[in-house]
């Protein structure tokens, strides 16, 4: 059944449906509230909110749902409870390579691990329901704020100085007394005391027997500014899914190499990677003998490609744009692109050798010739000999069928198979396998594989000056994040709002004197202790000494 | 004498001053009922003495902090010992600020023992100055850790006031179901605090006695090419091993009270670094804490909550409620700034991502969400008094888990050395 509520106050003000305290004089409008004498609920000064409309459409219902602080709190509580679950075992995202989540959790943690994986908790923070919770919190932030800030603004923007007697005497901080003398003079005097404490004092024109004193109203906007900041922050996070706004990749650069940064127009060169360890004198006893890194850095040069960028057959034309020593906490930053020191690898890596070919029958030596591990020339002519590259393995191994294969694309155990033509060899050429690294030569028994050709020729390196290797490989993390500035703006707003709302409190004091009878009521949104001491202090200055605690009228301490 | 030695001495001075301050606060409160004195005058006088002593303790603590900073050439907040002593100091700073606002000496009776326990807990960890690893070598280390700890210190003061509120208002003679539940949880909270004290006593007791035992533990690792290798780790125990590491052999075992081999083996899934030893430490803490609790119960002949309750009489419960709330409201923006925003800025500079769902980050977020729920409950749902006090207690448990539990139980970017 629908009844039209009478919301007109006795002071003549027409209030919206849902109003608790008259927007003008503050008199309680609800019958049962009028008959009670407990302190009043002062939230938003008793003004009606949109969510309190009586007949609701679907949109109104959604609005009401998200405008409820109770729902907001539930969302927060569910979010932090589920976030806890995600920390029980490491998340999938913490593993970088060679990781199969479907077996890892069960193998490592047993049945609980299997359940953890099956419930999807191994990627809690990327799951649709967790992101859904965050989006719902964001929606709630927007709607809760809008639903409250507008009525609150209205209520605070047009305040009556003379409030209803019930409104004043049913505040949480109250005082009543008989005062002698001229009421207007008393009021002015009291107002002066409040001004000294930083209040803005409004005394009623004419009679001068009603007064409103107010300070730090701005602090009421704190929570809303904080919420705007949080909304911006959440939007910035969502914006990262816009294509091109975010990039997160890894690049490994051996000393001296120049590597293209995939997905960009840039090339990165590591001139040298340097690492320094703490010496034993610098370490406390229990850490001595352990290699504790003191500093490591990549001496990096960033190039931009200016032409011939996408032709795999031609060398690109590069132009140096930035030179920077990348250290942890000091990334290379260029035009939104950031390169972070992520990790390093001190395993030396073979880049190239300059071997010679020895004719064992004549004792003649030919060469040396340049043999890089990657992209070697397909043919080498050495005196009367011709070497045709038949196959090239980066990490040589024999598979289960005994056939040669490569385990990776990193030159950890490189091997070259040449077809060799020349004096004393078959005219169609004979195969020769060459391992540049001594350890592989022994491990895979180079001479045995080569059989009789091993007695005729030999490819070998003469001296270390003919070996080119990188001492270290640096791993860099490449980042682009265009949402970042918005994120920080959001954080600044949020912080500003929090400070405004937490370290200042909005305090108001209402007084009226009727026939020598003073009533005083005071309201604050936080810190009643401070509110009472303000009132007690001003009363003391006009000659009324009381214990601040006696001003308390009971009720809740919001 | 080197600056670092001087620094350690200052720390000891601070510790003893805190102990005395605590004693004086107890005299200020409990002594009100002594004969031949005016209770108000007595509380005022001893309250002032106690506050002066606790402030002197804080000054000594600050001296420790700055001399260690100069002597060690880096801010002392980079390992568990340094961080926990800093947290203790931050609690004293937060307490001093709240005291200046409300002038309630009784708050010291709860805030100071909290500091004492945290500082004593810190001393369990290795105390040498350790050189920084490159990732920590940043100005943001100073900014992030100090502000986060200060925010958390205000939460600690909120916890102290909340616990006082509970001890003040809960009726320990009431036999209704609701009252019994409240009594049980207050008692459980006090018992948990005593277990932490038990942990400190056990560690120092056995350290003083020079107890040691060690095990070798075999672990099979499978590398990314599918080849397995076995590594053998040595695990040293400084508390008698009731629980031995999973799959381990005894190397050395000093007999303790006739026990010459461990009673249990840690379960197979506890295979983290030193997981067996940590479990053993937990078992010992519970044993020592329970013994201590039992002794206290025998002396007092009633539950601890019921024994403390009469001391709290005459204190305005509403004041406690407001102090607890106020401390949390002051701490919340500081924690947001230090624990989340500064942390994100540093993470962005160091790792190129402001947020990585690292367990420590997640738990800082959980702490923040919890306290924002607290503030909304209080402001919009009118949760005050008992409910609010319980939330203040639970909130601090979450803070402690974030600070200590995450490091000891869940490994991650923030793992420090653990006992």
Nearest CA-CA partner of B336 in A455, A233, A103: A233
pLDDT in tens, B245-297: 777 778 777 777 777 777 877 776 665 557 778 888 888 889 999 999 999 99
| Predicted pLDDT of residue B227 | 63
| Residue A489 pLDDT > 80 | yes
Compute the average pLDDT of residues A83-105. 79
Where does the pLDDT of residue A139 fall: very low under 50, low under 70, confident under 90, or very high at 90 and above?
A: very high
pLDDT in tens, B301-344: 888 888 888 888 878 888 889 899 999 999 999 999 999 999 99
Length of chain B measured in residues: 419
Cβ <8 Å between A484 and B344: no
| Residue A477 pLDDT > 70 | yes
HSE, side-chain direction, 13 A CA sphere, residue A340: 23
Q: Which residues of A touch B369 (CB under 8 A)?
A: 76-77, 79-80, 83
In the structure encoding, which two tokens stand for residue A258, read together? 């120049």
Q: Are A185 and A512 in contact (CB under 8 A)?
A: no
Where does the pLDDT of residue A57 fall: very low under 50, low under 70, confident under 90, or very high at 90 and above?
A: confident
Query: Which residue shows structure tokens 């695990």?
Result: B235
Compute the average pLDDT of residues B46-61. 92
Dump the DSSP string for B94-130.
HHHHHHHHH--THHHHHHHHHHHHHHHHHTTS--S--
pLDDT in tens, B357-388: 888 889 999 999 999 999 999 887 778 888 99
| Residue B224 pLDDT > 70 | no
Nearest C-alpha of chain A: how many angstroms from B414? 14
How far is residue A323's CA from residue B94's CA, in Å, rounded to a whole number?
Answer: 46
| Predicted pLDDT of residue B415 | 46
Q: Which residues of A touch B140 (CB under 8 A)?
A: 329
| Predicted pLDDT of residue A169 | 86
How far is residue A281's CA from residue A259's CA, in Å, rounded to a whole number?
Answer: 39
How far is residue B339's CA from residue A406's CA, in Å, rounded to a whole number?
Answer: 48
pLDDT in tens, A143-179: 988 888 888 888 888 888 888 888 888 888 889 888 8
Backbone φ, ψ for residue B226 (5° rounding): 85, 5
Computed on alpha carbons and rounded to an integer, the radius of gyration of chain B in Å comes to: 23
| Predicted pLDDT of residue B184 | 92
Where does the pLDDT of residue B403 fall: very low under 50, low under 70, confident under 90, or very high at 90 and above?
A: confident
How far is residue B30's CA from residue B42's CA, in Å, rounded to a whole number?
Answer: 10
Compute the average pLDDT of residues A482-491. 91
Q: Which residues of B touch A274 (CB under 8 A)?
A: none
The 3-class SS string of A466-483 reads: HEEEECCEEEEEEEEECC
- Of residues A165 and B191, more confidently modeled: B191
Buried b (16+ CB within 10 A) or exposed e, B170-194: bebeeeeeeeeebbebbbebbbebb
Strand partners, A319: A304
How far is residue A45's CA from residue A27's CA, in Å, rounded to a whole number?
Answer: 11
pLDDT in tens, B67-76: 999 988 888 8
Nearest CA-CA partner of A434 in A465, A390, A402, A381: A390
Q: Is the dihedral of CA B16, B21, B24, B25 positive or negative?
A: negative
| Predicted pLDDT of residue A3 | 46
In the structure encoding, which two tokens stand for residue A404, read together? 């040669």
| Predicted pLDDT of residue B261 | 75
Cβ <8 Å between B319 and A529: yes
| Residue A282 pLDDT > 70 | yes
Where does the pLDDT of residue B418 fall: very low under 50, low under 70, confident under 90, or very high at 90 and above?
A: very low
| Predicted pLDDT of residue A311 | 77
| ipTM for the assembly | 0.85
Compute the average pLDDT of residues A74-84. 93
Residue of A nearest to B72 (CA): A282
Compute the average pLDDT of residues A450-454. 82
Length of chain A measured in residues: 558
pLDDT in tens, A403-421: 888 887 778 888 888 888 8
Q: Are A522 and A507 in contact (CB under 8 A)?
A: yes
Q: Which CATH number fits domain A166-213+500-551: 3.30.465.10, 3.90.1150.10, 3.30.310.80, 3.50.50.60?
A: 3.30.310.80
| Predicted pLDDT of residue B416 | 42
Q: Which residues of A touch B377 (CB under 8 A)?
A: 73
Q: Which residues of B touch A528 (CB under 8 A)?
A: 322
Cβ <8 Å between B224 and A491: no
Cβ <8 Å between B362 and A87: yes
Cβ <8 Å between B357 and A125: yes
Cβ <8 Å between A93 and B357: yes
Interface A–B counts its CB contacts (< 8 A) at: 142
| Residue B413 pLDDT > 50 | no
Residue of A nearest to B374 (CA): A73
| Predicted pLDDT of residue A490 | 94
| Predicted pLDDT of residue A488 | 93
Compute the average pLDDT of residues B140-150. 91
Q: Which of B134, B268, B373 sits opposite A327 (nearest CB)?
A: B134
Strand partners, A28: A21
How far is residue A553's CA from residue A171's CA, in Å, rounded to a whole number?
Answer: 7
Cβ <8 Å between A529 and B322: yes
Cβ <8 Å between B316 and A499: no
Question: Quick one: CA torsion of B284, B289, B290, B293, rounded to 10 degrees?
Answer: 170
- Count the neighbouring beta carbons within 10 Å of the beta carbon of residue B206: 18
E strand residue ranges, A37-139: none
Where does the pLDDT of residue B417 fall: very low under 50, low under 70, confident under 90, or very high at 90 and above?
A: very low
Compute the average pLDDT of residues A373-402. 84
Cβ <8 Å between A80 and B369: yes
| Predicted pLDDT of residue A428 | 86
How far is residue A299's CA from residue A268's CA, in Å, rounded to a whole number?
Answer: 10
Residue A448 CA from chain centroid, whole number: 59
Q: Which of B134, B225, B341, B356 to mutate to test the interface with A (most CBs of A within 10 A)?
A: B134
Q: Which residues of B touch A288 (CB under 8 A)?
A: none
Cβ <8 Å between A558 and B378: yes
| Predicted pLDDT of residue B277 | 80
Nearest C-alpha of chain A: how many angstroms from B246? 14
Question: Quick one: CA torsion of A119, A124, A127, A131, rounded to 10 degrees?
Answer: 140
pLDDT in tens, A363-387: 888 878 888 887 788 888 888 888 8
Q: Which residues of A touch B319 (CB under 8 A)?
A: 529
Q: Which of A40, A68, A329 to mutate to test the interface with B (most CBs of B within 10 A)?
A: A329
Across chain A, mean pLDDT equals 85
Give start-end residues of each CATH 3.30.310.80 domain in chain A. Answer: 166-213+500-551
- High-pLDDT (> 90) share of chain A, %: 18
Does B103 reach chain A within 8 Å, measured CB to CB?
Answer: no
Q: Which of B128, B138, B354 sits opposite A487 (nearest CB)?
A: B354
How far is residue B84's CA from residue A120's CA, in Å, rounded to a whole number?
Answer: 35
Q: Which of B138, B358, B370 sits opposite A80 (nearest CB)?
A: B370
- High-pLDDT (> 70) share of chain A, %: 96
Cβ <8 Å between A86 and B224: no
Q: Which residues of A touch B328 (CB under 8 A)?
A: none
Nearest C-alpha of chain A: how many angstroms from B9? 19
Cβ <8 Å between B269 and A110: yes
pLDDT in tens, B89-141: 999 999 999 998 888 877 888 899 999 999 998 888 888 887 777 777 788 88
Residue of A nearest to B103 (CA): A529
Q: Which residues of B touch A134 (CB under 8 A)?
A: none
Compute the average pLDDT of residues A111-119. 87
Where does the pLDDT of residue A219 fall: very low under 50, low under 70, confident under 90, or very high at 90 and above?
A: very high
Nearest C-alpha of chain A: how many angstroms from B21? 26
Does B377 reach chain A within 8 Å, measured CB to CB?
Answer: yes
Nearest C-alpha of chain B: how many angstroms from A385? 39
């Amino acid at each position: 059944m629908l009844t039209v509520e009478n919301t007109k106050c006795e002071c003549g003000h027409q209030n919206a449906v849902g109003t608790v305290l008259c927007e003008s004089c503050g008199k309680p409008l609800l019958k049962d509230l009028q008959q009670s004498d407990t302190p009043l609920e002062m939230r938003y000064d008793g003004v009606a909110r949109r969510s309190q409309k009586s007949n609701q459409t679907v949109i109104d219902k959604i609005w009401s749902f998200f405008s409820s602080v109770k729902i907001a709190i539930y969302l927060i509580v569910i979010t932090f409870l589920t976030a806890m679950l995600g920390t029980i075992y490491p998340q999938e995202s913490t593993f970088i390579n060679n990781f199969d989540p479907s077996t890892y959790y069960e193998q490592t943690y047993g049945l609980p691990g299997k359940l953890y994986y099956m419930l999807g908790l191994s990627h809690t923070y990327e799951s649709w329901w967790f992101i859904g919770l965050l989006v719902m919190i964001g929606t709630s932030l927007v709607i809760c704020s809008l639903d409250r800030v507008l009525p609150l603004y209205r209520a605070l923007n047009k305040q009556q100085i003379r409030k209803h007697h019930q409104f004043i005497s049913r505040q949480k901080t109250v005082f009543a007394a008989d005062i002698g003398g001229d009421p207007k003079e008393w009021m002015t005097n009291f107002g002066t005391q409040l001004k000294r404490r930083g209040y803005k004092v409004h005394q009623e024109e004419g009679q001068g027997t009603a007064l409103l004193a107010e300070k730090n109203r701005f602090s009421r906007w704190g929570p809303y500014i904080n919420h705007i900041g949080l909304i911006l922050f959440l939007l910035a996070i969502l914006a990262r899914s816009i294509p091109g706004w975010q990039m997160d990749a890894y690049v490994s650069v051996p000393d001296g190499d120049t590597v293209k940064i995939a997905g960009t127009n840039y090339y990165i060169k590591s001139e040298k990677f340097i690492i320094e360890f703490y010496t034993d004198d610098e370490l406390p006893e229990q850490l001595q003998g352990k290699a504790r890194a003191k500093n490591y850095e990549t001496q990096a040069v960033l190039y931009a490609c200016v032409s011939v960028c996408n032709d795999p057959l031609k060398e690109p034309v590069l132009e140096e744009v930035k030179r920077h020593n990348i250290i942890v906490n000091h990334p290379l930053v260029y035009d939104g692109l950031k390169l972070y020191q992520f990790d390093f690898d001190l395993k030396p890596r073979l880049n190239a050798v300059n071997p010679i070919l020895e004719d064992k029958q004549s004792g003649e030596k030919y060469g040396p010739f340049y043999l890089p591990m990657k992209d070697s020339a397909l043919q080498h002519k050495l005196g009367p000999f011709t070497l045709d590259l038949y196959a090239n393995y980066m990490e040589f191994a024999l598979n289960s069928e005994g056939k040669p294969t490569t385990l990776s694309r990193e030159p950890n155990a490189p091997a070259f198979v040449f077809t060799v033509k020349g004096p004393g060899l078959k005219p169609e050429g004979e195969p020769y396998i060459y391992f540049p690294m001594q350890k592989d030569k022994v491990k895979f028994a180079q001479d045995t594989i080569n059989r009789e050709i091993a007695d005729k020729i030999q490819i070998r390196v003469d001296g270390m000056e003919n070996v080119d290797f990188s001492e270290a490989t640096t791993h860099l993390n490449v980042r682009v994040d265009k949402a970042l500035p918005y994120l920080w703006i959001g954080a600044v707003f949020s912080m500003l709002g929090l400070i405004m709302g937490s370290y200042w409190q909005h305090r108001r004091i209402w007084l009226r004197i009727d026939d020598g009878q003073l009533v005083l009521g005071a309201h604050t949104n936080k810190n009643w202790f401070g509110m009472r001491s303000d009132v007690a202090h001003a009363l003391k200055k006009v000659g009324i000494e009381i214990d601040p605690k006696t001003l308390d009228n009971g009720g809740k301490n919001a | 004498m080197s600056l670092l030695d001087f620094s350690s001495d200052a720390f000891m001075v601070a510790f003893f001053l805190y102990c005395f301050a605590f004693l004086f606060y107890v005299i200020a409160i409990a002594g009100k009922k002594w004969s031949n004195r005016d209770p108000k005058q007595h509380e005022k006088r001893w309250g002032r003495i106690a506050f002066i002593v606790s402030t002197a303790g804080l000054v000594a603590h600050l001296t420790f902090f700055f001399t260690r900073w100069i002597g060690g050439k880096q801010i002392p907040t980079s390992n568990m010992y340094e961080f926990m002593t800093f947290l203790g100091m931050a609690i004293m700073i937060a307490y001093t600020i709240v005291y200046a606002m409300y002038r309630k000496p009784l708050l010291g009776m709860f805030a100071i023992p909290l500091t004492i326990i945290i500082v004593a807990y810190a001393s369990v960890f290795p105390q040498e100055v350790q050189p920084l690893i490159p990732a920590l070598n940043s100005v943001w280390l100073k900014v992030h850790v100090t502000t986060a700890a200060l925010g958390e210190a205000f939460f600690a003061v909120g916890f102290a006031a909340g616990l006082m509120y509970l001890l003040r208002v809960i009726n320990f003679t009431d036999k209704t179901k609701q009252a019994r539940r409240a009594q049980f949880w207050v008692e459980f909270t006090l018992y948990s605090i005593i277990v932490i004290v038990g942990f400190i006593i056990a560690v120092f007791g056995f350290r003083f006695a020079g107890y040691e035992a060690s095990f070798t533990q075999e672990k099979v690792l499978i590398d990314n090419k599918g080849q397995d290798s076995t590594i053998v780790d040595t695990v040293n125990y400084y508390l008698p091993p009731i629980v031995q590491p999973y799959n381990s052999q005894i190397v050395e075992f000093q007999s303790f009270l006739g026990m010459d081999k461990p009673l249990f083996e840690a379960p197979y899934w506890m295979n983290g670094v030193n997981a067996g030893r940590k479990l053993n430490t937990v078992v010992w803490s519970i044993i020592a804490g329970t013994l201590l609790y039992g002794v206290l119960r025998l002396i007092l002949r009633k539950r601890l909550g019921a024994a403390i309750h009469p001391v709290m009489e005459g204190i305005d419960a509403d004041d406690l409620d407001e102090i607890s709330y106020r401390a949390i409201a002051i701490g919340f923006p500081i924690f947001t700034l230090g624990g989340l925003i500064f942390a994100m800025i540093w993470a962005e500079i160091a790792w190129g991502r402001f947020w990585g769902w690292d367990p420590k980050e997640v738990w800082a977020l959980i702490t923040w969400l919890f306290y924002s729920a607290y503030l909304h409950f209080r402001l919009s749902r009118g949760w005050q008094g008992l409910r609010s006090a319980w939330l203040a207690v639970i909130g601090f448990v979450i803070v402690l888990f974030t600070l200590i539990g995450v490091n000891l139980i869940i490994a991650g970017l923030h793992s420090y050395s653990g006992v």
